[in-house]
Amino acid sequence: MKQKHLRFHGIPQDLEDVAMVACRAWTELGKDDRELGLLLKTLARDAEPFLTHEVLAELAAAMMDKQRALAEEMAIYDPKPWKQWGKDLEATSIEQMRNAVKLPVSVRGALMPDAHLGYGLPIGGVLATRNAVIPYAVGVDIACRMKMTVLDLPPSALVTKEKKLMDAIHRETRFGMGARFDGGEDPMPKRDHAVMDADWSVSPVTKRFKDKAWAQLGTSGSGNHFVEFGTLNLSEPDLGLEPGTYLALLSHSGSRGTGAQVASHYSRLAMEAHPELPKPLRHLAWLDLDCEAGQEYWAAMSLMGEYAAANHACIHAAIAKRLGVEVLLDIENHHNYAWKENHDGEEVIVHRKGATPAGAGTIGIIPGSMADPGFVVRGRGNPESLDSASHGAGRRMSRTAATKKFKHLTPEKELAKRGVKLLSAGLDELPMCYKDIEEVMAAQQDLVQIVARFDPKLVKMAPAGEKPED
């Protein structure tokens, strides 16, 4: 067990030295690391039973001391109600949710079945606040979103026109942190879209990075961002389509480098505005919507929402044009954003960080992995979830752990076994890195109704070695 892996088992950073002593003792006894990982996760949830453990007793005592100290520090904060969907979620993500609802501005929260550790609010966390916005509860990739278009091509084109479909993805978008269209050595000029005529002076950050945003318009980034072709199966008439199997294009990306700069700038301002927050709440610092910084962030976030939507629009329009086909259906949704909504009789700010809007009748997209199905869903409007659902399957292991565990595998070969043609991706995005999407969907039947199933067939992500933006 390496020190850098401990936090994914719920061990706080300041207890890592004590934990490593225990890990070395465990190794000396010739015991299995996988069993140790399970014990550490259990200890992180409840340390007391380990006080007499032959190897973990000292760590358990230190954990209990830390938890008592934190409890005393957090005692002044009253927790608000929240509800969890799904089982076997990371202890760290549950603790993050418990902390989030203790904020003075919090009203209510919910944790989705794909939840895992994030900055401040967990990925899969939903939080309603009163007249305040939390940059880290929106996320670093502001307005990360899904978009699907159903194209006027038969599903057989996935075989008969495979090369043409692959070429369309290769040519009409770019992947990676520095991906851009800007002419010069790149034969493709910058994309045109009305979003670049919007007011980019709403924030000093958006004003400064407008040119970069324009160059990155129509690009797909890194991390878990993708562009893929697949089949959409609709069993009943819905969405304006007859039952049947269709060829669809699905993309996942957000506001690129400019969105990340907005998140970084206003997260820093929020933390400077609330130095009194204890360490567990520091990344949940908020901006009052009545203050200048809060209004600036809200305007910048809204612009990044428009920009992310334009980003997807450019990708889909360019691919459809290259293929010379019509679009039969167009659906999309954000899942890293904050909305002004009415809940419990008052207007609140609902942060959905890695969560899909699922108000009554609202259509959304919940993807699986690059070899597992995704779903078009209709929200049920469950008030306990603040009208939200999961945004995907959710990671079951860190990127570092995945790269180490699967280093002997070749992604293209692994995907071919599942009937998927992989154009590019890193080991940290293999399907095995993610939770079972069928289990996630089963855990939220009271949140969404499945309308159609999407199965990926031709997939492109950032190549191995790219730093993730998600």
Give the residue carrying structure tokens 């067939």.
457
CB 274 within 8 A of CB 285: yes
Provide the token pair at 83: 């509800």
Q: How far is CA 3 from CA 14, 104, 215, in A?
A: 11, 34, 39
Q: Decide if 138 contacts 259 (C-beta within 8 A).
A: no
Tokens found for residue 237: 């008439």
138: left (phi over 0), alpha (psi -120 to 50) or beta: alpha
- Phi and psi, residue 332, nearest 5°: -165, 165
53 is catalytic: no
Cα 430 to Cα 427: distance, rounded to the nearest angstrom: 6
Whose tokens are 């307005």? That residue is 143
Catalytic member of 225, 265, 316, 391: 391
Structural contact between residues 372 and 431, judged by C-beta atoms closer than 8 angstroms: yes
Helix, strand and coil percent figures for the chain, each rounded to 5? 40, 25, 35
Residue type, 279: K
d(CA 273, CA 282): 11
Of the candidates 385, 394, 344, 346, the one whose C-alpha atom is nearest the C-alpha of residue 362 is 385
Grouping H, G, I as helix, E, B as strand and the rest as coil, residue 466 is coil
In this structure, are residues 252 and 308 in contact, taking their beta carbons and an 8 Å threshold? no
Amino acid at 33: D
- Total residue count of the chain as it appears in this document: 470
Kind of pairing between the strands at 421-424 and 448-461 = parallel
Task: Give the active site residues.
Answer: 391
